[in-house]
Amino acid sequence: MGLHKLRLAAAVPVTFSSRLFLKPFTNTLTLGLFSRHLQPRNKPLLVRAFSASAAVQDIPATQTSDSSVARPLWKAAIDFKWIRDNKEAVEINIRNRNSNANLEAVLQLYENMVNLQKEVERLREERNNVAKKMKGKLEPSERERLVEEGKNLKESLVTLEEDLVKLKDELQHVAQSIPNMTHPDVPVGGEDSSAIRQEVGSPREFSFPIKDHLQLGKDLDLIDFDSAAEVSGSKFFYLKNEAVLLEMALLNWTLSQVMKKGYTPLTTPEIVRSSIVEKCGFQPRGDNTQVYSIDGTDQCLIGTAEIPVGGIHMDSILLESALPLKYIAFSHCFRTEAGAAGAATKGLYRVHQFSKAEMFVICQPEDSESFHQELIQIEEDLFTSLGLHFKTLDMATADLGAPAYRKFDIEAWMPGLGRFGEISSASNCTDYQSRRLGIRYRPSEPPQTGPKKGKANLPATKFVHTLNATACAVPRMMVCLLENYQQEDGSVVIPEPLRPFMGGIELIKPKLK
Amino acid sequence: MGLHKLRLAAAVPVTFSSRLFLKPFTNTLTLGLFSRHLQPRNKPLLVRAFSASAAVQDIPATQTSDSSVAARPLWKAAIDFKWIRDNKEAVEINIRNRNSNANLEAVLQLYENMVNLQKEVERLREERNNVAKKMKGKLEPSERERLVEEGKNLKESLVTLEEDLVKLKDELQHVAQSIPNMTHPDVPVGGEDSSAIRQEVGSPREFSFPIKDHLQLGKDLDLIDFDSAAEVSGSKFFYLKNEAVLLEMALLNWTLSQVMKKGYTPLTTPEIVRSSIVEKCGFQPRGDNTQVYSIDGTDQCLIGTAEIPVGGIHMDSILLESALPLKYIAFSHCFRTEAGAAGAATKGLYRVHQFSKAEMFVICQPEDSESFHQELIQIEEDLFTSLGLHFKTLDMATADLGAPAYRKFDIEAWMPGLGRFGEISSASNCTDYQSRRLGIRYRPSEPPQTGPKKGKANLPATKFVHTLNATACAVPRMMVCLLENYQQEDGSVVIPEPLRPFMGGIELIKPKHK
């Protein structure tokens, strides 16, 4: 498909600060470890925000100074050879995506690691040779010399093997911040550079003064932010009366539509191990994290069902015949929304907890581009059925989170906000997540190069591609529906497709007090 | 209604250990503070478990020994101490019947001390005022000097005593919050075995083939995935898949539509709440054996039931009588650590860390709570009868009541795979236990008959509302019942008729072709 994919990560800061204490040894290479790359630092690094744009954030000092984070709990299967052989493309990609990944450090550490590995292997061979020599008849002085040499070799080997483990850990940490490669059609630049793929409908013209969804929610007794502020904090809410039925109708209708396309419905755990969050490319820790952590455990709350669904097939080898796996998962989502402020954070637009139906596809690499198109088509069909005015955007490089190879956002017209607002996002993550989650498949056809059949000649496993896309983020859909379908008398019309899913209700009318 | 209600609390351990340093002072009473009651201790205290029975748990040492954190309560229950003092014997018997570790003697002693100290403070204030008054007249210089000195002494003493009073009130609050609600006179006294059967519906289905439990059915029909969830989240988490997702939605939709017909307002709620709300509802958000997940770095935690955020909606407010009753049916996800749970009854969906639930909640006038309790149980029984379940309703015995409940009815349904009855719902009348903590009052619309005049100054006094909560549908336990009871010999599962319109007309969950 002509896709220049790169299997890398980006969400992990350069935190690894252990020193490699290489003891001087006769036959050891001077490894020249660039320890200046390995110092804790507070430079901004690219992390993936849950919402549209990739946020540049400071790495908190508590994280970088804590050397207990030294050993990574899991490793991404990063293709370092590919990075080395495509250095220029990777460098340009890092720049285009506004990433702070340090490619030079990665390449240097990789070279050091390769050299150290060679040296370890050489020493092992030498030790074996010494052991072999000692099996024969020897002068006592010669035997003594060999014993001494073997002892020295063994000591050096132990030291170097320890160094190798540390170096590999260090490489892993530094390399995980390299973002996925980018689809060649993605526009290069910031948010303004994003290209419109499609625009549907036109803004409704109102012949009366309109209300925003907050006002409608209050007047129709549908949403209670005030009580939630007391009970939970700001940006939490209760849904009430018809709004509860509308949420259920939106989710039921969405599930039934997406299931028709062959997607398997799921509900998911909403508490997951932090490592799963990391493997999906999110940052569960730090001052600006979007992730709520559970006190006293290594668990956190999910910000999207993408995380638990991505984890279902973790560390497994799937049959080619099992692919594609297409899921539509319903979950509640929890986000700290640290750092969020401004008008776009009013009311239901940005909240700490919401319901969402999320699509997730696991497929062979050659199919991911067409499934990306399928996902966007499903989204566009859903929103068209609800009569929304929206545009689909091919998001520019600087707006991509680290895992995305390409991302399409849909922005819908929100009359109360007076602008378009993001209502969905569809990302092709190629093998960025599968290399972290360890999801492979075994092609069913043996490779043509192998002349013989049999177990020894099984085709090699490959990493699957993963894609995720919003089918229905309830609160933002509610903003659209309430604001776009409001009537002059203060009532709100329910779009026809949803009516059968909410007991035939056609109109939300003001309650009589 | 002849109900001997007591407005007390029970979830807060005796953690308050500040000392009152009463300085010797001429006119001060010897207050005799029983500081032995106030020492941190590791005795078991009654806390409220989410599930059926009231658990007796140790208070963790970290909590009791940290006096700097636990010292000042962040909120106060409006406990009726006079009532407790005047009904000492009934309260004592109630504490014993409910297997509570509340220390009534300490409460009464602290209350007496507090009343005496309050009187002393008032006496000193009056004396100080008298001195101030005297000094306005013409005086000999020596007499003025004496009065200045006396005024100064009085002021100093007053400052000290007022500080002591604050501390004593805090201490009283902490100790008194562990006193449980009073108990309905009809509730059987004793442990779990003493619970009385109110009603039994249906009979156990007889199977002509070897049956599977819901775990096996869930695997064979590709409905439930515990294995992946164990890797991703931990044990006792699960994914629902395929028809199970539709079944969950159908259960919730059908339940909501049925309960709304009875005039209940549907809600969805926040699932992260401040810890204080959890406490005010009578749950214990902290400690080694807590059922509550806390959020790192905040004072927030995850709800174990929608009862908590719904109870909080009208917190610290005075409702109009005409607004009552408020009847809610709330849908939420629930999160529970299930610390300490073990054994066969914890297998599969029976005991899990996260689940969906529709919960009813009623706020009403005190005289109506008994009839609303009956309404809630009737709704539960009607729902489960419609689904064709075999179940019994139990009037739970005293030792099985959580601290907030004045009376509690549990419904236990037959689970063939488990081979026994299992709890599927619980309906509690908390009378004013929660409202005295949450501060939910109402103002009666009729002025009291004793007041001869009308007008603002003569508004009827506010009263505390009563609160009730009852499970309408706890999804995983309903699934256990439906899968195990409606399994067929060919491995399929029949969907009960009322649910079919809510899941696209599906009548049968069939084994998938692989």
pLDDT digits (tens, 9 = 90+) for A330-375: 999 999 987 776 656 689 999 999 999 999 999 999 999 999 999 9
Chain A hits for B225, CB-CB cut-off 8 Å, are: 312
Nearest to A7 by CA among A431, A330, A340, A513: A431
Interface probe, candidates A225, A235, A237, A238, chain B, greatest B C-beta count within 10 A: A238
Q: What is the pLDDT of residue A43?
A: 37
Closest to A268 (Cβ–Cβ): which among B239, B297, B504?
Answer: B239
pLDDT at A35 over 60: no
Q: Which residue has the higher pLDDT, A447 or A192?
A: A192
Question: Is residue A52 very low, low, confident or very high in pLDDT (cuts 50, 70, 90)?
Answer: very low
Between residues A451 and B278, the one the model is more confident about: B278
Q: Are A11 and A177 in contact (CB under 8 A)?
A: yes
Which of the following is catalytic: B7, B98, B286, B336?
B336
The pLDDT value recorded for residue A58 is 35
| Per-residue model confidence as pLDDT tens digits over B135-149 | 888 888 888 888 888
pLDDT of residue A449: 57
A48, A127, A285, A335: the active-site residue: A335
pLDDT at A347: 92
Contacts of B229 (CB under 8 A, 6+ apart): A269, A308, B237, B238, B239
Q: Which of B375, B373, B369, B371 is nearest to B431 (CA)?
A: B369
- The predicted pLDDT at position A455 comes to 57
- The Cα angle at residue A411 between residues A405 and A415, in degrees rounded to 5: 165
Arithmetic mean of pLDDT, A406-435: 96
Strands (E), A201-287: 223-224, 238-240, 264-267, 271-273
- The C-alpha atoms of residue A223 and residue A219 are separated, in whole angstroms, by 9
pLDDT of residue A460: 92
Tokens of A466: 């993963």
CATH of B81-178, one of 1.20.1580.10, 1.20.1050.10, 1.10.287.40, 2.60.40.1120: 1.10.287.40
Residue in chain B closest to A333 (alpha carbons) equals B271
Q: Is B363 left (phi over 0), alpha (psi -120 to 50) or beta?
A: beta
CB contact under 8 A, A231 and B313: yes
Residues of A within 8 A of B267 (CB-CB) are 238-240, 244
Question: B423 catalytic, yes or no?
Answer: yes
Contact criterion met (CB below 8 Å) for A338 and A290: yes
Catalytic hit among B423, B428, B436, B484: B423
Q: Please say whether the beta carbons of A265 and A255 come within 8 A.
A: yes
Cβ(B28)–Cβ(B157) below 8 Å: yes
pLDDT-derived band of residue A274, with 50, 70 and 90 as boundaries?
very high
Q: Would you call B267 and A503 a contact, using CB atoms and an 8 Å cutoff?
A: no
Rounded distance, CA B117 to CA B105, Å? 18
Q: Can B146 be counted among the known catalytic residues?
A: no
Which has more confidence, B17 or B501?
A: B501
Enumerate residues 6+ apart whose C-beta is below 8 A from A108: A34, A37
Instruction: Please tell me which residue, A134 or A269, carries the higher pLDDT value.
Output: A269
> Would you say residue A1 has pLDDT above 50?
no
For residue A313, the chain B residue with the least C-alpha distance is B228
Handedness of CA B209, B210, B214, B219 (dihedral sign): negative
pLDDT at residue number A448: 58
Pairwise pLDDT comparison (B451 vs B11), residue with the higher score: B451
Tell me which chain A residues have a C-beta less than 8 angstroms from the C-beta of B504.
Answer: 256
Are B245 and A503 in contact (CB < 8 Å)?
no
Which of B148, B5, B156, B13 minimizes the C-alpha distance to B73?
Answer: B13
Task: Kindly state the average pLDDT of the residues B477-501.
Answer: 97
Min Cα separation B277/chain A (Å): 7
- pLDDT, position B52: 38
Strands A238-240 and B265-268: antiparallel
**For A206-343, where are the E strands, in sequence order?**
223-224, 238-240, 264-267, 271-273, 299-301, 316-319, 325-334
Assign A71 a pLDDT band (cuts: 50, 70, 90).
Answer: confident
Four-residue CA torsion sign, B299, B303, B304, B305: positive
Question: Do the annotations mark residue A336 as ligand-binding?
Answer: yes
Beta bridge partners of B428: B408, B469
pLDDT digits (tens, 9 = 90+) for A318-330: 999 999 999 999 9
Task: Name which of B232, B257, B353 is nearest A308 (Cβ-Cβ).
Answer: B232
When the pLDDT of each residue in chain B is averaged and rounded to a whole number, the result is 86
Are the C-beta atoms of B466 and B435 separated by less than 8 Å? yes
Q: What is the pLDDT of residue B303?
A: 98
Average pLDDT over all residues of chain A? 86
Q: What mean pLDDT do residues B150-155 have? A: 90
Based on the residue annotation, tell me whether A350 is a catalytic residue of this protein.
yes
Q: What's the whole-number mean pLDDT along residues A25-47?
A: 36
Residue B286: the pLDDT is 85
Bridge partners for B327 per DSSP? B362
Q: Which residues of B touch A265 (CB under 8 A)?
A: 241-242, 245-246
Start-end ranges of CATH 3.30.930.10 in chain A?
191-446+458-508
Binned at pLDDT 50, 70 and 90, residue A48 comes out as: low
In sequence order, the β-bridge partners of residue B411 are: B393, B425
Query: Taking CB atoms and an 8 Å cutoff, what residues of chain B touch A355?
Result: 268
Helix A242-259 vs helix A368-385: crossing angle, to nearest 10: 140
Q: What is this model's ipTM?
A: 0.85
Model confidence band, residue A50 (pLDDT cutoffs 50, 70, 90): low
User: Is it the case that residue B68 has pLDDT exceeding 60?
Assistant: no
Taking residue A321's Cβ as centre, other Cβ atoms within 10 Å add up to: 8
Cβ pair A231:B312 closer than 8 A: yes
User: Considering CB atoms only, which of B268, B277, B302 is closest to A238?
Assistant: B268
Distance CA B252, CA A266 (A): 16
| Known active-site residue B51 | no
Confidence of residue A412 (pLDDT cuts 50, 70, 90): very high
- Which residues of B fall within a CB distance of 8 Å from A294? 293-296
Which of A225, A267, A292 to mutate: most B Cβ within 10 Å? Answer: A267
What confidence category does residue B32 fall into, taking pLDDT thresholds of 50, 70 and 90?
A: very low
Mean pLDDT of B13-30: 34
CA distances from A501 to A313, A355, A498 (A): 32, 17, 5
Residue B21's pLDDT is what? 32
pLDDT exceeds 80 at position A8? no
> What's the fold here for domain B192-447+459-509?
BirA Bifunctional Protein; domain 2 (3.30.930)
As a whole number, mean pLDDT of residues A179-203 equals 95
Say yes or no for a CB contact (<8 Å) between B272 and A232: yes
Which residues contact residue A307 at a Cβ distance below 8 angstroms, ignoring those fewer than 6 apart?
A272, A276, A277, A280, A282
**CATH code for A80-176?**
1.10.287.40
Instruction: Look at residue A285 in the predicted model and tell me its pLDDT.
Output: 85
Instruction: List the beta bridge partners of residue B58.
Output: none
Instruction: Give me the half-sphere count of Cα atoms (radius 13 Å) on the Cβ side of residue A403.
Output: 32
- pLDDT value for A33: 38
pLDDT at B15: 35
Beta carbons of A314 and B257 less than 8 Å apart: no
**B282 or A458: which leads in pLDDT:** B282
Q: Are strands B326-335 and B354-364 parallel, antiparallel or unpaired?
A: antiparallel
Q: Where in chain B is the domain with CATH 1.10.287.40?
A: 81-178
- Residue B426 is a catalytic residue: yes
Given a cut of 60, whether residue A210 has pLDDT beyond it is yes
Residues making up chain B, counted from first to last = 514
pLDDT for B514 = 56
Interface test with B, best of A268, A272, A330, A502 (most B CBs within 10 A): A268
List the Cα angle B31/B36/B37 in 5-degree steps: 90
Which residue in chain A is spatially nearest to B333 when comparing CA positions?
A332
Handedness of CA A118, A119, A124, A125 (dihedral sign): positive
Q: What average pLDDT score do residues A141-160 get?
A: 90
Q: Does B424 carry a binding-site annotation? A: yes
Residue A376 sits at φ, ψ, to 5 deg, of -65, -40
Q: Mean pLDDT throughout B256-276?
A: 97
Domain A191-446+458-508, CATH number (from 3.30.930.10, 1.50.10.150, 3.40.50.2000, 3.40.50.720): 3.30.930.10
User: What residues of A are in contact with residue B239 (Cβ under 8 Å)?
Assistant: 266-269, 308, 312
The residue among A231, A240, A302, A474 with the most chain B CBs within 10 A of its CB, best to mutate, is: A231
Q: Which of A280, A337, A289, A336 is CA-nearest to residue A308?
A: A280
Q: What does A361-402 look like in DSSP terms, one character per residue?
A: EEE-GGGHHHHHHHHHHHHHHHHHHTT--EEEEE--GGG--T
Residue that wins the pLDDT comparison between B133 and B465: B465
State residue B345's pLDDT score. Answer: 61
User: Comparing C-alpha atoms, which of B364, B329, B465 is closest to residue A239?
Assistant: B329
Cα atoms in the Cβ-side hemisphere of radius 13 Å centred on A157 = 15
Average pLDDT on A411-423 reads 95
The arithmetic mean of pLDDT across residues A476-487, rounded, is 98
Question: How many C-beta neighbours within 10 Å does residue B321 have?
Answer: 14
Distance from CA of A298 to the nearest CA of B (A): 10
Range from A96-110, B107-121, B443-457 carrying the lowest mean pLDDT: B443-457
User: Which candidate from A228, A292, A315 shows the least CB-CB separation from B270?
Assistant: A228
Chain A nearest C-alpha distance from B221 (Å)? 13
